[in-house]
Structure 1
């Protein structure tokens, strides 16, 4: 077997003469003039051992150049002789020029830089005097004992529009400049190489402009993964001046940024709250009978010049662990003992045996050990509870991150996003918080609605928050019974007759039936009594018959005493009651009528819930066409019942069109002489109990109703029955 061959990659590099040639950097400038190699002293022995050393030369080789691009920040330059001498002492073989400083002083200075590199026999790539020259990769030929390995290294800069339009940074057909990170062209080049040389190793080194001291985002992650899908074996990016996370993706490895090497600007690590670390990367090629084994090793270095005194060094054990935990939080690599290794006196990350980007058992490991049904572990003091909430937030964030990344694999897989049937299956499960902009566009191009992003539960919770912020949902105006009756009268909707007076509980004793007694501000059926006569009283909450008023008083005693003490229970908060007509199931009957809840969405009916007040253990749910359905809401109690008529449905649909709100549930009573309005509910209790299918259907119905309502408002609909009675 032949000796292993090492290719070393380092990040942004510059002696920084343009930065240090300032009054406040006198000490560093003296070092630069007297002992420039001192800036590399701690890392030089390591990189000099490499067989092939590549770094990102982020400067121009010119002495006090002129012609700096107007408006561009942080111009930089370095003395050609001094820089080339250092590069040769470090055994640098090639430099990338696809970065945001190579063209700081225009085309002529770039050409001078290229000529200086040629004179020192240092390969350059990523820039040139034409587009074809700039896009050309660096090629490394590794000759083994019996096999040859070709390694191709591509680079290009992803930059903002001003670099293309204002600064004219990028190479054109016959104009000098740097290579643009054109995704389509690079994919074609990678594919072409892999077709011609199936054993070739392809490495892509993107430069992210505009990400100084920042974490890359979804855009950069997506692009890097696309290169792996096209056939790249490794992506080793730079441009952020700090280490970013590392990921095993499909058959490749992505280092989203290796940061700096020796870059002699003061830096803004602390100001930007950026970790002060970067990487030197060794890629070790070992020949075997079965081909070539490739082993990457990521060596953390400390590159915050304000912290090191402009002396880049390898990270200590504690610093390496700190960086590992930080990156592991961004993307899970594994356990510390499996990833952090030691090579002589230096530490490095070995990610060969970490898991690829898929959902794993690690999610289960994030969950708390104690039972969710147990209250014994809930902390009593506020600080401990804050810590509990922090842990819960961390767990939730981690799980969401796993799911987001998992869906991103589908987003990048052409066999999926080009297939409409597969996308349709995804649309039924992917939730909006796991949907990226790029992924959403894939659905839109195939005209597939991401309907799983619609959720009635989400809307109900969102509306609650919005009301606290001043948003008015006008369905809440008629949530109070007295106002609901005013509205019902104005549109001719039959309701129980009432004298509209408010009574104290003790004033009601002796009231003759048939009547209904109700608390004004109660929730649910608490305190609701159907009085057929003095000896036949039905307690709606307890679902049982009482024989006299004394039994009502006994049931309400605790609630009334709580009100007197000023500590009312949440179901009845005030001693305020009203009396209304008792709707009967049949003439002279002592049975309460059937209760129907119509889920109305501005002129449309989604379904109806039918309940028997005498037996809450059973109820029925019907779709708009009268078919028995199950919605997840207490399905174990669902039984086919009596049903409703289309005339009933039309009454509630018509009423919903008089309310300037997308949704209202009408609670109606089915009396012997027709449908009678009971109350209007803008937020039905137990909305979280609907299954996923019906939560989505309810959410979709809400949004469609919202669109119809908006259209009617734009067409000038006045909602006179509503506006003449209520303040808008």
Structure 2
């Protein structure tokens, strides 16, 4: 994503999966208003295959307003949750010390077998700002704050990952190497940056890749190369498509998280639709992404689920676009390699930058508008979970 206008990697970490049927014996309930969350996850930074996943655990009791209903995962079924852009700066800097950092939508992320967001920030306290208007950075503990919020991996293939130049990039790569969760789409060279995170969940082999399609200073100056650190670029389409095809050869489910689109535009541009088609043909199970500061439509492109814009999530300021505070978490159910359900938990970014779940008429308003956004995408409706 481009800078908004505001007014007011080594070894992979092991997955944590939440087993709903044993929560009572596994945790301590800590809250009254769906705001406290506790999770434990050992691990290392991403690159190759992961060890068998651990269970996710949460001390936050599930409520119908914020989480999918408990259900048994049959072998061959995996649930994947996705949310949008995250910052820990200005009004959201205090969220580094909040638990959970992502607020009351954290249980939706925790409930899935795998959850992912975009960290729109360099991970550094040093460096020189690049010649651009907006600069975002956060300390390494942001990664642990996201882990405690139920996030299993982040992408840093975006236009703010290298806001503080080569020194900031070196710090970011060091933080990624020591991260408690996989950091995707950035690396010491192109091999690392395009390398998928691969793990096995409930008998399902999952591969996740990330890249940026934004034509900006970061993609021009800090694109990863054979001997050059930087981000994975979707502008090198053949490289990304080849990486997806290779991942598909070794995984049952392949996810691509992209930074793409145009700020403020709620319909996908031709470059988005074109690369989505190429990634689908290469074997992607799901293609999701962010950048525009607003949600874009989602649905099925043949066998591939596509979400053209997940919107702002934990957001440092207000964007000057209609509906830019509307957001949510999308949870996909994938069974034997096919998307069998896509569920959306609507939310609104509040005055502190925190996504707050909506219920009743407010939830229906956001969900209905999100459904209407599909009209300009060329996608067909995704299946819904029965009873939802």
TM-score of the superposition, structure 1-length normalised?
A: 0.39
Partners in 2 of 1:275 and 1:84 — Cα distance?
25
Q: Please state whether the residue corresponding to 1:257 is helix, strand or coil.
A: strand
**Aligned position for 1:615:** none
Q: What is the CA distance between 1:118 and its match in structure 2?
A: 2.9
Contact 2:330 2:344 in 1 (8 A): yes
Partners in 1 of 2:217 and 2:179 — Cα distance?
33
Please tell me whether residue 236 in structure 1 is matched to residue 301 in structure 2: no
**Aligned position for 1:74:** 134
Contact 1:84 1:120 in 2 (8 A): yes
Please tell me whether residue 331 in structure 1 is matched to residue 374 in structure 2: yes
**Aligned position for 2:8:** none
* CA distance 1:192–1:80, shift in 2 (3 Å): closer
* CA distance 1:261–1:295, shift in 2 (3 Å): farther
Partners in 2 of 1:118 and 1:312 — Cα distance?
29
Q: What is the CA distance between 1:99 and its match in structure 2?
A: 0.6
**Aligned position for 2:246:** 192
Contact 1:279 1:298 in 2 (8 A): no
1:94 pairs with 153, 170, 176, which one?
153
**Aligned position for 1:141:** 200
**Which runs of 5 or more structure 1 residues have no equivalent in the other structure?**
21-27, 334-349, 355-728
Q: What is the CA distance between 1:235 and its match in structure 2?
A: 1.0
Partners in 2 of 1:3 and 1:132 — Cα distance?
30
**Aligned position for 2:213:** 158
Partners in 2 of 1:210 and 1:163 — Cα distance?
16
**Aligned position for 2:88:** 15
1:171 pairs with 221, 224, 232, which one?
224
Partners in 2 of 1:222 and 1:320 — Cα distance?
32
Q: What is the CA distance between 1:134 and its match in structure 2?
A: 0.7
Please tell me whether residue 272 in structure 1 is matched to residue 314 in structure 2: no
Contact 2:100 2:145 in 1 (8 A): no
Alignment of structure 1 residues 611-650 onto 2, 5 Å: none
Partners in 2 of 1:223 and 1:120 — Cα distance?
30
Partners in 2 of 1:353 and 1:108 — Cα distance?
46
Alignment of structure 1 residues 189-228 onto 2, 5 Å: 189-194=243-248, 196-197=249-250, 200-208=252-260, 210-212=262-264, 214-228=266-280
Q: What is the CA distance between 1:129 and its match in structure 2?
A: 0.8
Q: Please state whether the residue corresponding to 2:83 is helix, strand or coil.
A: strand
Please tell me whether residue 302 in structure 1 is matched to residue 363 in structure 2: no
**Which runs of 5 or more structure 2 residues have no equivalent in the other structure?**
1-73
Partners in 1 of 2:303 and 2:339 — Cα distance?
12
* CA distance 1:298–1:237, shift in 2 (3 Å): farther
Partners in 2 of 1:171 and 1:219 — Cα distance?
21
Q: What is the CA distance between 1:222 and its match in structure 2?
A: 2.3
Q: What is the CA distance between 1:9 and its match in structure 2?
A: 1.9
Q: Please state whether the residue corresponding to 1:56 is helix, strand or coil.
A: strand
* CA distance 1:107–1:303, shift in 2 (3 Å): farther
Alignment of structure 1 residues 357-436 onto 2, 5 Å: none
* CA distance 1:161–1:92, shift in 2 (3 Å): closer
Please tell me whether residue 319 in structure 1 is matched to residue 362 in structure 2: yes
Q: When the two structures are aligned, how many residues end up with a matched partner?
A: 307
Over residues 1-32 of structure 1, what are the superposed CA-to-partner deviations in whole Å (9 max), with x where a residue is unaligned?
Answer: 5495333222211222xx34xxxxxxx66x44
* CA distance 1:285–1:328, shift in 2 (3 Å): closer
* CA distance 1:3–1:189, shift in 2 (3 Å): closer
Partners in 2 of 1:208 and 1:327 — Cα distance?
18
Please tell me whether residue 183 in structure 1 is matched to residue 183 in structure 2: no
Partners in 2 of 1:304 and 1:7 — Cα distance?
22
**Aligned position for 1:121:** 180
Q: Relative contact order (alpha carbons < 8 A, sep ≥ 6): 1 or 2 greater?
A: 2
Contact 1:39 1:310 in 2 (8 A): no
Partners in 1 of 2:245 and 2:178 — Cα distance?
33
Q: Please state whether the residue corresponding to 2:287 is helix, strand or coil.
A: strand
Q: What is the CA distance between 1:296 and its match in structure 2?
A: 4.0
Q: Please state whether the residue corresponding to 1:318 is helix, strand or coil.
A: helix
Q: Please state whether the residue corresponding to 1:46 is helix, strand or coil.
A: helix
Partners in 1 of 2:128 and 2:264 — Cα distance?
24
**Aligned position for 1:566:** none
1:6 pairs with 79, 91, 110, which one?
79
Larger radius of gyration: 1
Q: What is the CA distance between 1:126 and its match in structure 2?
A: 0.3
**Aligned position for 1:40:** 102
Q: What is the CA distance between 1:275 and its match in structure 2?
A: 4.6
Q: Please state whether the residue corresponding to 1:54 is helix, strand or coil.
A: strand
Q: Please state whether the residue corresponding to 1:43 is helix, strand or coil.
A: helix
Partners in 1 of 2:133 and 2:145 — Cα distance?
26
* CA distance 1:296–1:140, shift in 2 (3 Å): farther
Contact 2:297 2:375 in 1 (8 A): no
Q: What is the CA distance between 1:119 and its match in structure 2?
A: 2.2
Q: What is the CA distance between 1:101 and its match in structure 2?
A: 0.9
RMSD value, Cα:
2.8
Structure with higher helix content = 1
Please tell me whether residue 257 in structure 1 is matched to residue 309 in structure 2: yes
Please tell me whether residue 50 in structure 1 is matched to residue 112 in structure 2: yes
Q: What is the CA distance between 1:327 and its match in structure 2?
A: 3.7
